[in-house]
Structure 1
């Protein structure tokens, strides 16, 4: 991809959390000399540690010297110095919205690109709305292009979508069948499943799998070491759950090494719906997607179910891993790399920006004005936002949030005393009221972690 001047376009990524830093680094690193790439790791409450950053860069193709940490207060000035043709915003939705609003004010305004770091089915309204001010939305399969396009048509939230091979699926064949290791690798997730009892059930399963064959390891691949942040809050971590079960088999271990390294010694991968399944498939490693909790959008496992990867507890203990249905591959993450069009789409947008035919996209109109903007910035950036407006908005917004939540609880309590029909109506009204209140005033704890 080259610009009008004949040089490679300069794309600067801005990312903060583990999954987004890994995604942004790999997405740009995969383009090699086709782009002049750099990565700014933004200091936020969930920013990666040095260890997480090293793991994210391992095998990404992006040299460490093209990566730097930066505080929010210095971001605009640094981007002005770098003069990127495009900025790739690799972050949770609420932070993308804040950054897009701020970066759109730069002169010259760079093309704004965003995307999601893994399996993005089902397509969600929230993912699109948070990224409305970006010029391009990158997704990773033909199915995702189709489903996000249908979502935009259905909701009226129009967007430009482009296709990029999921960077973790590059450089290997999904049909490879080389020599494998002997580890059963379990890819943990912070939010799936959500309930403690379900996560404890998985922990017990891992113990049973280790006890079934003491000569082979069961590796619990963690997303972060103790004290490190993740993109999503993990309330019931597997180290704590496993410890609650008493003495553990010696061949049951935990690991925070990069997924690429963990898979190097894997016989097979087990997960509920982690994108690590795609990474494993790319290396010819078979997978079990746990069927213990059903299939639903909430579990993000519909795509893996369509691949015929679902299996149960006995299959895990017996290590009866599965390869995906070959017909599934082309529509889901394993299309020919030649079909990728995201860099071409960026080049077209950069050219339009240069000739003045690319107007900035307007942000979604919301109630609250400047105070709302300041609240969203403070919630997304935490203490990294040192502005007076942010402090004022936070001081006003937190009591408002508490009041809305209290009123919602009261309405729900009243609804439970009504008859079934009236109760259902009241509960639906309460939920709509809560959603509206949250839309205006926000929820600091949830918004910090939420948003795809």
Structure 2
């Protein structure tokens, strides 16, 4: 192969833009690196793009393209590597567009933008056709590899240090802000969110010399990777007694908030890993439990779990050193994702580089492909075939889900527990793809 390796990253939501851009920054400097944003129902606002790309000026402002324009771009530029930094259900849609437009199929890479424990069947099934699946800890690689083997899916996994981990000293010390890293999906219920806000408000009252910041990913009218039912800014008005002035809701880049912070509080946000990298104390809230649904089982053994009393009193925690090595803080010499791509480029040059077939979600032919596209892109897919497929496919999908649930209820408890993982991720797919008002 002559000339530098050309790698094109395609991203959709704000969290995937942040991950894709940061992973591009880890690629070799002599590679030609480009970032595009795919128009979809979770298209970030300009403020969200600015926050996601904070500190990555070398990439420039990304071009926003629809699926047709993306295919034209692939046809013209013929990248060697395509990084799919998009939500799971969109991966196979973009793979089809890329493969259809490329004269020589590029190496296709994908991954997950943060904490990915527990490993889920859907995460693997959606990315079954990619050549390299990037993960960020030894534990993630171990658990995903074991699950892929059980599913009968041949997959290569690459290890990369979580690409947006900061590499500088923390800012304000113990008198700085306390940041609560909010998440769209956890906690889900309104009462739980109000309870959490009330603990933060009480902490702010007891420590009037510092701000308590509810750091959100999106403000009203902005989309994000997961739909959010109860907005924290709206809930603030329902607090009784009213919120103190030093409890605030704010957006923006997490890196900027952490630069002036004393501690971080969350249920399961990847921001906890960013805070640990800054040697900042953390509390992982366990009042709502520890479970796969809360995405916080990864913190078992970390020593970071705390409750509402810890938040109110300002008792923050440090991680157990033994937990760090297996969870996101391995040595950089263990990263092998670039080496994995280089091996695949050699295989590509040999001519023996067939696209892997889809093992799940391929039934239905042309109608299924149109349904996949419409479901993932919403109003950004303007094809008649997509609209027709959605009308036909949606009732069939829900009927199939009901049949699967009935089937689960009739199985033995062990088998039912195994399928709980599938049910959870199917519900995630539906919530992720709800088109939000713009």
| 3-state secondary structure, aligned to 1:13 | strand
Which of 9, 19, 27 in structure 1 is aligned with 2:15? 19
TM normalised by structure 1 equals 0.87
1:169 aligns with 2:162: no
Query: How many residues are treated as equivalent by the alignment?
Result: 425
Check 1:357–1:265 CA distance in 2 against 1; reply closer, same or farther (3 A cut).
same
1:103 aligns with 2:107: no
In the TM superposition, what are the counterparts of 1:345-384 in structure 2 within 5 Å?
345-365=340-360, 366-384=362-380
How many Å apart are 1:172 and its aligned residue? 4.5
1:44 aligns with 2:40: yes
Which of 282, 293, 308 in structure 2 is aligned with 1:313? 308
The 8 Å contact of residues 8 and 36 in structure 2, kept in 1 or not, is answered as yes
How many Å apart are 1:108 and its aligned residue? 1.5
Which of 208, 213, 218 in structure 2 is aligned with 1:219? 213
In the TM superposition, what are the counterparts of 1:240-279 in structure 2 within 5 Å?
240-246=234-240, 247-279=242-274
TM normalised by structure 2 equals 0.90
| 3-state secondary structure, aligned to 1:361 | coil
Check 1:117–1:62 CA distance in 2 against 1; reply closer, same or farther (3 A cut).
farther
1:189-247 Cα deviation digits (max 9, x unpaired): 01112222222211111111111121211000010121100100011121122221153
Aligned to 2:381: 385
RMSD, aligned CA: 2.9
Aligned to 1:79: 74
1:302 aligns with 2:302: no
| 3-state secondary structure, aligned to 1:330 | helix
CA distance in 1, matches of 2:199, 2:180: 11
Moved more, 331-340 or 117-126: 331-340
| 3-state secondary structure, aligned to 1:33 | coil
Aligned to 2:324: 329
1:189 aligns with 2:196: no
1:205 aligns with 2:199: yes
The 8 Å contact of residues 187 and 276 in structure 1, kept in 2 or not, is answered as yes
1:148 aligns with 2:144: yes
Aligned to 1:234: 228
CA distance in 2, matches of 1:344, 1:427: 43
| 3-state secondary structure, aligned to 1:121 | coil
1:304-338 Cα deviation digits (max 9, x unpaired): 23211001111111211111111111111111112
| 3-state secondary structure, aligned to 2:36 | strand
How many Å apart are 1:402 and its aligned residue? 6.2
| 3-state secondary structure, aligned to 1:333 | coil
| 3-state secondary structure, aligned to 1:299 | coil
CA distance in 2, matches of 1:408, 1:153: 26
CA distance in 2, matches of 1:156, 1:403: 26
CA distance in 2, matches of 1:126, 1:269: 30
Check 1:315–1:68 CA distance in 2 against 1; reply closer, same or farther (3 A cut).
same
| 3-state secondary structure, aligned to 2:387 | helix
The 8 Å contact of residues 177 and 284 in structure 1, kept in 2 or not, is answered as no
Check 1:271–1:23 CA distance in 2 against 1; reply closer, same or farther (3 A cut).
same
CA distance in 2, matches of 1:379, 1:144: 29
Aligned to 2:433: 448
Moved more, 130-139 or 339-348: 339-348
How many Å apart are 1:444 and its aligned residue? 8.7
CA distance in 1, matches of 2:33, 2:262: 35
| 3-state secondary structure, aligned to 1:117 | coil
CA distance in 2, matches of 1:94, 1:27: 21
Moved more, 290-299 or 132-141: 290-299
Check 1:30–1:313 CA distance in 2 against 1; reply closer, same or farther (3 A cut).
same
The 8 Å contact of residues 111 and 135 in structure 1, kept in 2 or not, is answered as yes
The 8 Å contact of residues 272 and 289 in structure 1, kept in 2 or not, is answered as yes
| 3-state secondary structure, aligned to 1:168 | coil
